[in-house]
Amino acid sequence: MTPADPIAAARAWAAQDPDEVTRAQLEAMLARVDAGDPDARAELASRFSGRLQFGTAGLRGELGAGPLRMNRVLVGQAAAGLASYLLGREETPSVVIGYDGRRNSEVFARDTAELMAGAGVRAILLPRMLPTPVLAFAVRELDTSAGVMVTASHNPAADNGYKVYLGGLDHGSQIVPPADAEIQTEIARVAEGSVAELPRSEGYEVADDAVIDAYVRRTAEIAAPRHPLKFVYSAMHGVGWETARRVFEAAGFGEPIAVAAQRDPDPDFPTVDFPNPEEPGAMDLAFQTAAETGADLVIANDPDADRVAVGVPDGAGGWRRLSGNEIGWLLGWRAARRLQESGAEHGTLACSLVSSPALGVVATAFRLDFVETLTGFKWISRVGDLAYGYEEALGYLVDPVKVRDKDGISAAVEVLSMFSELAAEGRSFADHEAAFAERFGAFASGQISIRVSDLARIPEIMSRLRAEHPREIGGIRVERIDDFSDGFGPFPPSDILRIHLADGSRVIVRPSGTEPKLKCYLDAHSSEGTAAERQAAADAALATLDTGMRELLG
């Protein structure tokens, strides 16, 4: 059985598949191949020409049969491979396993628990579908060797995923090299045999609610309510509602106004095209609910609640979603002030290199350390002496002592605290934005996402940009381009281009690590004139960048 022989690979896969649905998929395709259907042969090749690899967020892909899809065979191989890796690291390893409300999430989680227990690893299954931050918290709270979260976060409904955390000296962060490659090696070894022959055991534990109660209590403790707020909350058809509601009430903010149609878990995500608050239209129901109820702001989690989006009135009778960077630099300012007020002599603010340069300016102003990392919270969470970290894709780490991953619920509590303080002081959010621009300068950030159906388009575009460096973007001269393909500074080789322009603007181009997209990150800055003049200049520069990059990318 080799990748060059997809038919033999498919027959072997079907023989070990415990899932009636995916086994029937393969058997139907094989029957079509036997009947001479070329489309069926091509479909088999697309599923058996490689394997899903551990990437930015572990395993993630479309549900279906074959090693390039998410299914019970692939998850069984991953669980057994991870168990082997853990047993090689310590004598009595342990793992805590969580899952969300997507299709097959609970099935994949129980398979993992049985296979871990069968391999001799102490396995603890969380009691029901829960947010990813609860699982990340449980790794530290239960002091386990590892954690597994079955989720595809904000990916389309057809997807699922498998995210791995490590305890001990990794402090509950997601896996990074070389651990990912070492685990992948063990998975490949397991894949040489049949998952049907792997030992299983129902001797795993099911955690009680104590770990959830601890997460709620610890998250509520960071709150600083000073004035009542009326706010709308959307779980985006995910698993955030139950836990977030408990946290908000325990923190003193009361129960939010739920977006009823999006409150309960639904793997079909029926009210949105993509279950990602960043996508156009995803927050429309939340904004409608806010307008109907006279709310002060909108809070929306993604389906596994590790990200948070915030909506505010736009001043013209409508609503707008704050960008990930806007929330990021304001929460960073808040974290810096808190460190200063506490008398702390040190602390580090961190963000991904595609996030706004604004956080670095805040860190400098407060004489704090600042670190840029590669994209992915697995890198941000590992920064030393971390006080606060964020990535522009709506991910925020406001309480590193509790969780070493982005946490959309604790970040929501911090956002609510900020708005509550503004209300108590009689200041608007616009006043707060202006104060930031007056102190640090005005920043404007944008993003262009090119979603592709043919993944080959992404490397083609990146190759073209490398072969033909642009001399200008939107009429602004390009000063230099940093190519990360062979490594750059402290960063390892990565498929990233960073373009610096003569006016101080910046463009970063890279493939998405979790979706079939090419992403362009645009950043502009102005420190001349009043706060309003600074913001207008930054916004104008951003618009020029956006137009220029769209023309460049065709």
**Which helix or strand (DSSP H or E) is residue 546 part of?**
helix 531-553
Catalytic choice (105, 145, 153, 410): 153
Q: What distance in Å separates the CA atoms of residue 103 and residue 200, rounded to the nearest whole number?
A: 22
The position carrying tokens 């058996």 is 48
Q: What distance in Å separates the CA atoms of residue 28 and residue 21, rounded to the nearest whole number?
A: 11
Which three-class secondary structure state does DSSP give residue 96? Answer: strand
Which three-class secondary structure state does DSSP give residue 213? Answer: helix
Q: What distance in Å separates the CA atoms of residue 117 and residue 94, rounded to the nearest whole number?
A: 9
What is the Cα 71 distance to its own chain's centre?
Answer: 21
Q: What distance in Å separates the CA atoms of residue 155 and residue 217, rounded to the nearest whole number?
A: 30
CB 396 within 8 A of CB 289: no
Which three-class secondary structure state does DSSP give residue 241? Answer: helix
153 is known as an active-site residue: yes
What is the Cα 183 distance to its own chain's centre?
Answer: 21
In sequence order, the 6+-apart residues with CB closer than 8 A to the CB of 345 are: none
In sequence order, the 6+-apart residues with CB closer than 8 A to the CB of 225 are: 251, 252, 253, 416, 417, 420
Q: Listing from the earlier edge strand, what are the strands of the sheet with 497-501?
A: 442-451, 517-526, 506-511, 497-501, 476-483, 472-473
Q: Listing from the earlier edge strand, what are the strands of the sheet with 319-321?
A: 257-258, 231-234, 297-301, 308-313, 319-321
Query: HSE (CB half, 13 Å, CA atoms) of 116?
Result: 29
What is the Cα 323 distance to its own chain's centre?
Answer: 15
CB 350 within 8 A of CB 383: yes
Helix 105-119 and helix 72-89, axial crossing angle in degrees, nearest 10: 40
Q: Which of 333, 324, 327 minimizes the C-alpha distance to 392? A: 324
Q: Which of 537, 547, 466, 546 minimizes the C-alpha distance to 503? A: 537
Cα dist from 412 to 155, 328, 360, 416, 553, whole Å: 21, 12, 23, 6, 36
Q: Which two tokens stand for residue 284?
A: 């429309």
Q: What distance in Å separates the CA atoms of residue 354 and residue 517, rounded to the nearest whole number?
A: 15
Q: What distance in Å separates the CA atoms of residue 244 and residue 408, rounded to the nearest whole number?
A: 9
Active-site amino acid positions: 153
